[in-house]
Structure 1
Amino acid sequence: MPTATIRITHVTTGLEVGGAEIMLYRLLANSDSRYFRHSVISLTAGGTLRPQIESVGVPVFDLGMQRGFPTPGSALRLLRLLGRLAPDILQGWMYHGNLAAWFGSITTRQQPPVIWGIHHSIYDLEREKRLTAAAIKLGARVSGACYRLIYVSHVSREQHERIGYRSDRGCIIPNGFETERFQPSPTSRAEVRDEFGIATDAPLIGLVCRYHPMKDHANFLRAAAQLLPSHPNARFLLIGTDVTPENPDLQALVTQLGLGDRALFLGQRDDMPRLMAALDIGGLSSATGEAFPLVVGEAMACGVPCTVTDVGDAGVMVADTGRVVPPKNPNALAAAWSELIELGADGRALLGARARARVQEHFALPAVTAQYEQIYTQAMASSTCIRDK
């Protein structure tokens, strides 16, 4: 542990619900406040997670930026905030937050060491938003100025280093999971099924993610339609921002595929441990973009075997506790679901127990938090932080 308190300011693109933002909150909530004093600067205002972060005693500031190019005013607000906070270390989260942390370091008198958090995988830069692609490319050029580049997945690290991110600065810290909060619960399973009128013996398959093209909800729903002829009692639970009955694209697809009321759209929920524990099979249908998806680890921690598309490190997470299929292949996804259904409740329970044990052994939050804190301590102990001009 450090001999004196280390002040870390985290600079994040925003604080809406997402994998990186949730991991930031979990890190702050579990960090040892005797040795590490945290603060957060969000480029954008508001955010669902802001009150939660403030509730654990971490001050949150925002620059009030709109989506788009940064303005001179927002840059000035950043520098003034950093002058007040006087951090020993700056940690960026996501591409725009990473660049803001780098800018803050090189333009302030203290020039604290910079750590980046990279929570995205890159399969095709041309498919990224224009500003995101520009931020990724600029990040490659200035990555040598960082003390560490923290990736959450091996695939993400390989992809970024291929386009110029400094390999000698990289390390991997996976996302961490709250195994006491996410755990098997027969009570939750019964309650959720009763709430939504789902039979006790009906296979319940879940997908938890915001509505976005890279999440490929169409792949999930097409697989659902292919599964139903052989397993007509299966039900599908879809949860996440904009994943609602009012989403016209989703409802058009449900009508086209003839899914009727077999697919339930719940939108954003705040009772995820309860809902996860009710599933028979956890799902990931993403086409691209994933690095180390939180929802997969959370389902595994609940003792739920998962079927995932082979994007990011999803396959590494699941290993032999579930099924891994190619992306954009509803036939393969439906076949994998069918395999798990045909194992029966006892067979799935055995897989689920192995999945939970894997999370506890490799991805438990206390161990992950300790890895971050070790990097903070090392950064402070370094006599110099090499920066390439």
Structure 2
Amino acid sequence: MKIAHIITGLNNGGAEAVLYRLCTNDISVTHTVISLMGMGKYGPLLQETGVEVHCLNMPAGRITFSGLYSLYKLLKKSKPNAVQTWMYHADLIGGVIARLAGVKNIFWNIRHSVLEKGKSKRNTILIAKFCSWISPFIPKQIICCANKALAVHAKNGYQRNKMVVIANGYELDKFTPNSQLALDTRNELLLNENVVLLGMVGRYDPLKDHTNLLAALSQLKHQFDFKCLLVGKDLSTTNNELISEIEKQGLQSHIVLLEQRNDIPAIMNALDLHILSSSSEAFPNVIAEAMACGTPCVSTDVGDAALIVGEAGWVVPAQDSRQLASAITQALTLKQDSLKWLELQNQARNRILEHFSIETMINKYHDVWNS
């Protein structure tokens, strides 16, 4: 089977990471990836594993005739058994062009769970709405990464009987408990192995709600001695808005800013507790990645976070720093009982093993493509 994937871009993001894992772990299918924009982070990584990658080099937010024609020619020449699109722009452009190129098996992929003014870009909402109008005609099936994403898009007019949920899958040989990796990472960061280490992996973005996290941590600074790693794009000392909020909450001695990292399994192993303070998510990868490394999580109740965490952590309402602080307090109090904490660590790891392996995800994609 030949699958052509069409994605908006290949920069660092959740959808891009899932596409990379799918293509590089599924050796029973020939995968080709077409980016509407450039190579980004994942283009070269895909090529290194032998996956064919094409870039249409369309500017962000703009559609070019040359790009559309190049896509049409690629699909006519390669004659894939199916086209799998990723994210709204690719669903629309890739879906329509694939249909014009004679491809019958077209599958969309929805990666968001919010379509609201103020939380989503106006252009994104408009394209999603247009996709909902043509959803009865273009895709054979519509894959959603989370139950919340399915519910939101069905409510917004997407063809409900075509929609199916496939949760993200993870490479559990990479995201696995590793005490030596944890120690090495702490040594690199000049952090004592006994210091209580909290962390949140996720770019600086209003939807990640770092303000909520900092407000919660401020309530704990006199009760616990801790450090908190903030990892992701724009989480650096050059972010004046973030620095101002850290100073406002009096957390200068507690926060460590790390910007983007390529060693997330190492970061997750180094943490005692991972926190997600978002006001909106679909299927938050970082929770599953932390739990796969045996790191318990506290998360806001966004997207499918509660489904991922299950009974192996804490889930609290979004945008409520008091409840977030309370859950962190419960976690750090439990950590003082080493046997109960070890039990929770094992429970977190086992939940991901049972429900969110890369093999499970690949098999579900195959079921859809062969439908």
TM-score, normalized by the shorter chain, greater than 0.5: yes
For 1:386, the equivalent position in structure 2 comes to none
Moved more, 161-170 or 187-196: 187-196
Deviation at 1:286, TM superposition (A): 0.7
For 1:82, the equivalent position in structure 2 comes to 75
2:193 partner letter? T
For 1:328, the equivalent position in structure 2 comes to 319
1:332 partner letter? Q
After superposition, the CA RMSD in angstroms is 1.3
Structure-2 separation of matches of 1:167 and 1:213: 30
Secondary structure at the aligned position of 2:33 is classed as strand
Structure 1 segment 312-327 matched on structure 2, within 5 A: 312-327=303-318
Moved more, 180-189 or 357-366: 180-189
Structure-2 separation of matches of 1:143 and 1:102: 10
Deviations 1:156-194 (A, max 9, x none): 101100111111101111000111111111112222222
Structure-2 separation of matches of 1:339 and 1:198: 23
For 1:208, the equivalent position in structure 2 comes to 201
Structure-2 separation of matches of 1:112 and 1:39: 17
For 1:142, the equivalent position in structure 2 comes to 134
Structure-2 separation of matches of 1:83 and 1:243: 43
Moved more, 24-33 or 191-200: 191-200
Q: Which of 285, 289, 306 is residue 294 of structure 1 equivalent to?
A: 285
Structure 2 unaligned regions, length at least 5? none
Q: Does residue 23 of structure 2 align to residue 28 of structure 1? A: yes
Alpha carbons 1:273, 1:302 under 8 Å: kept: yes
Secondary structure at the aligned position of 1:120 is classed as coil
Deviations 1:229-278 (A, max 9, x none): 111x1110111112122211111111111111311111111111111011
Q: Normalising by structure 1, report the TM-score.
A: 0.92
Q: Normalising by structure 2, report the TM-score.
A: 0.96
Structure-1 separation of matches of 2:86 and 2:223: 44
1:44 partner letter? M
2:230 partner letter? L
Secondary structure at the aligned position of 1:261 is classed as coil
Secondary structure at the aligned position of 1:205 is classed as strand
Deviations 1:186-234 (A, max 9, x none): 1122222222232333221110011111111111112111111111x11
Q: Which of 216, 224, 227 is residue 217 of structure 2 equivalent to?
A: 224
1:337 partner letter? I
For 1:362, the equivalent position in structure 2 comes to 355
1:341 partner letter? L
For 1:62, the equivalent position in structure 2 comes to 55
Alpha carbons 1:92, 1:100 under 8 Å: kept: no
1:322 partner letter? G
Aligned pair count reads: 368
Alpha carbons 1:240, 1:269 under 8 Å: kept: yes
Deviations 1:252-309 (A, max 9, x none): 1111111113111111111111110111111111111x11111110000000110001
Deviation at 1:69, TM superposition (A): 3.0
Structure 1 segment 156-171 matched on structure 2, within 5 A: 156-171=149-164
Q: Does residue 158 of structure 2 align to residue 155 of structure 1? A: no
1:369 partner letter? I
Deviation at 1:70, TM superposition (A): 1.1
Structure 1 segment 205-354 matched on structure 2, within 5 A: 205-231=198-224, 233-288=225-280, 290-343=281-334, 344=336, 345-354=338-347
For 1:383, the equivalent position in structure 2 comes to none
Structure-2 separation of matches of 1:63 and 1:216: 34
With a CA cutoff of 8 Å and minimum separation of 6, indicate the structure with the bigger relative contact order: 1
2:369 partner letter? Y
Deviations 1:86-118 (A, max 9, x none): 21211110111111221112211x233110111
Structure-2 separation of matches of 1:178 and 1:127: 31
Structure-1 separation of matches of 2:119 and 2:354: 36
Alpha carbons 2:116, 2:125 under 8 Å: kept: no
Structure-2 separation of matches of 1:123 and 1:80: 33
Structure-2 separation of matches of 1:303 and 1:170: 32
Secondary structure at the aligned position of 1:16 is classed as coil
Structure-2 separation of matches of 1:126 and 1:342: 37
Secondary structure at the aligned position of 2:253 is classed as helix
1:247 partner letter? N
Q: Does residue 13 of structure 2 align to residue 15 of structure 1? A: no
Deviation at 1:44, TM superposition (A): 0.9
